[in-house]
Amino acid sequence: MRKLKIKRYIDNSNVSRFRFWIQIISFFIFVYGGYFFIEIASRLPIFSCPYVQGSPGGCYLIGVQHELNTTWESMLSFRGLGILTSLGIFLLFFIFLNKAWCGFVCPLGTLQDWITKLRKFLGFSFTRYDEMSFKRLKSIKYILLVLLILIPLGIRNSFFGIHVPHGMHTPFCQICPARIILPLFTGDTSQIFIDFTDTTTIIMTSLGMMIAALFLVGSFVKKRFFCFFCPMSALQYIFSKISLLRMTKDGDKCTRCGNCYRVCDVGIREIADDIISKNIVKDDCMLCVKCVEACPEDDCLKISFAGMPIFNASQEGFFKRYTGSSLTEYIKSIEPNKENENESK
């Protein structure tokens, strides 16, 4: 069966280049959009940080931390409805792009990709976690997610008689590198500080500064360093299955060549080794689609939206992307040389 012309064109296209531009555009929207009177929404599934002056929206994590800073009783009142509404808004945005929010839109993710570009420019090699560390460190994002839910609850309620000090309000924002680093892009250095109000604030703000430093160093040596620990990623994964945008794998077509694993920025092994699961979006995945680009087997990896195929792996596309020219162009370029060579023999 012949593929449709448009389908073939898309499957042969270089999505990474497209992604690069989309990331630049979304970075500008989510860091400077506010200055151009762009308002999107709060409760977005990305780090659209409200601490950035020009942010046109808000990150769902700051919203959920604020909302949960309330008592059990009021959660049962209409305040609870508010919590559900904002979860609804989050999901409304999320289901359209699934984890592609991370790979295409999130400004902090984009920033890490830029740092990777810088590293490549300087010619430093990257590092990867070995299998054990990967498995061990994987759970950190879930721990952070649970903490960022429990700590705000603990401020207004008591857990077995323990009250969390008020200085721990929005605990994740206090340690989030987006709060410190993204405002720098608008020339706002006010987030670089240690708050000496009390011990809690000293600890939290120092942690924030440390994590910001680790973020920069870490993403220089490891691709998408922070995303591996991001609680937003954990939260998204919980709802990933209901999303309209899906990545599926046809295990029968897989040769387990490992191309997809090699290009994976977060280092997901299952993408190459799992030949049973159909839905291959894992918790660390950010749907950057690099694996689909690197897959040389026709229709082995597929991106679809609401059942409609968008971007499929294809041989032709693979060779075009990885060798930079089509076959006929290549043959044309080497043929004259070879003929001369053969004649001279």
Partner 1 sequence: MALFLIQSIYAQEIIWLSNTPPASMKDNVRASGMHRLSALKKGDTKKKKVYKTNADSTKKFKRKKKKSSYSSYGAVTNYVQWIRKGNSIQKPAYICIDDSTDYQLKLISPTGNEEKIELVKSKNCYLKFELNEEGYYNAYLIIKKAIGDTLYINIAKAELLSHSCRNGHHKKLEARPVMHYPEITEFEIIRERHPWEDFHYFSSSGEKESYKAFYKDKVAENVKITLYTEKGWSKTMHTDKNGKVNVQFLQDYFSKWQELNKRKIHYYMLAAEYTVQDTNEYKGKTYPYVHYTLTMSDGYRPARTMYTSMVWGLIVFLTVTIVSIAGIFIYKERRKKPYKELKFDEH
Partner 2 sequence: MKVNKDRYERMKKTGSIHYAMEIKKNLAEITDDFPDNPQSMEYFYKRFEEYTIGNLHEGKKVIASMCVHVPLELIYATGGTPVRICAGAYATDQIGAEFLPAKTCPMVKSTLGAVYLDILPGNIKPELIVNPTTCDQKKKMGEIADEIDKPFFTLEVPPTKDSEEARQYWNRVVKKFVKKLEQTTGTKLTRRRLKKAIKTVAKAQAVYRRFDQIRRSAPVIYGKDAILVTNSYFFDDIENWTIQVEKLNQELEERIKNKQTVGKANSPRILLTGSPSIFPNMKLPLLIEKLGGIVVNEEFCSTSRMIWDTVAVDEWFLYDMVPAVADRYLKPSTCPNFTPNTDRERKLLRDIKDFQVDGVIYQTFTGCQLYDMESRRIGKILEDNGTQTLYIESDYNPDDFGQLTTRLEAFLDSLKNKK
Task: Return residues touching partner 2 (CB under 8 A).
Answer: 120, 123, 125-126, 130-131, 252-260, 262-263, 265, 272-273, 275, 290, 294, 296, 315, 318-319, 322-324, 327, 330-331, 334-335, 337-338, 342
What stretch of H or E contains 302? Answer: strand 301-305
Closest distance between partner 1 and the C-beta of residue 278, in Å?
A: 37
Q: Which does 149 bind (CB under 5 to 8 A by kind): partner 2, partner 1, none?
A: none
Nearest CA to 180 out of 155, 210, 154 is that of: 210
Closest distance between partner 1 and the C-beta of residue 30, in Å?
A: 14
How many CB atoms sit inside 10 A of residue 85's CB?
A: 13
What whole-number distance in Å separates Cα of residue 172 and Cα of residue 191?
Answer: 14
- Between residues 171 and 317, which has the closer beta carbon with respect to partner 1? 171
- Answer for the pair 14, 74: CB distance below 8 angstroms, yes or no: no
Query: What's the token pair of residue 61?
Result: 């994590």
Q: Which does 329 bind (CB under 5 to 8 A by kind): partner 2, partner 1, none?
A: none
Closest distance between partner 1 and the C-beta of residue 237, in Å?
A: 24
- Between residues 197 and 342, which has the closer beta carbon with respect to partner 1? 197
Cα 6 to Cα 21, 27, 307, 322, distances in angstroms: 21, 29, 17, 21
Residues that bind partner 1 (CB under 8 A): 34, 37, 39, 41-43, 50, 53, 55, 57-58, 62-63, 66-67, 69-71, 73-75, 77-80, 82, 86, 123, 127, 156, 189-190, 192-198, 205-206, 209-210, 212-214, 216-218, 221
Q: Compute the Cα dihedral for 31, 33, 36, 37 and give only its sign.
A: negative
What whole-number distance in Å separates Cα of residue 58 and Cα of residue 55?
Answer: 7
Q: Which does 273 bind (CB under 5 to 8 A by kind): partner 1, partner 2, none?
A: partner 2
Residue type, 184: L
Closest distance between partner 2 and the C-beta of residue 134, in Å?
A: 10
- Between residues 34 and 218, which has the closer beta carbon with respect to partner 2? 218
User: First CA to last CA across the chain, in angstroms?
Assistant: 44
- Answer for the pair 225, 218: CB distance below 8 angstroms, yes or no: yes
Q: Which does 192 bind (CB under 5 to 8 A by kind): partner 1, partner 2, none?
A: partner 1
Closest distance between partner 1 and the C-beta of residue 341, in Å?
A: 30
Q: Which does 32 bind (CB under 5 to 8 A by kind): partner 1, partner 2, none?
A: none
Closest distance between partner 2 and the C-beta of residue 118, in Å?
A: 12
- Partnered with residue 162 across adjacent β-strands are 159
- Between residues 39 and 335, which has the closer beta carbon with respect to partner 1? 39
Closest distance between partner 2 and the C-beta of residue 261, in Å?
A: 8
Longest CA pairwise span in the chain (Å): 91
Nearest CA to 314 out of 98, 4, 22, 104 is that of: 4
Tell me the backbone φ, ψ of residue 119, rounded to 5 degrees.
-60, -45
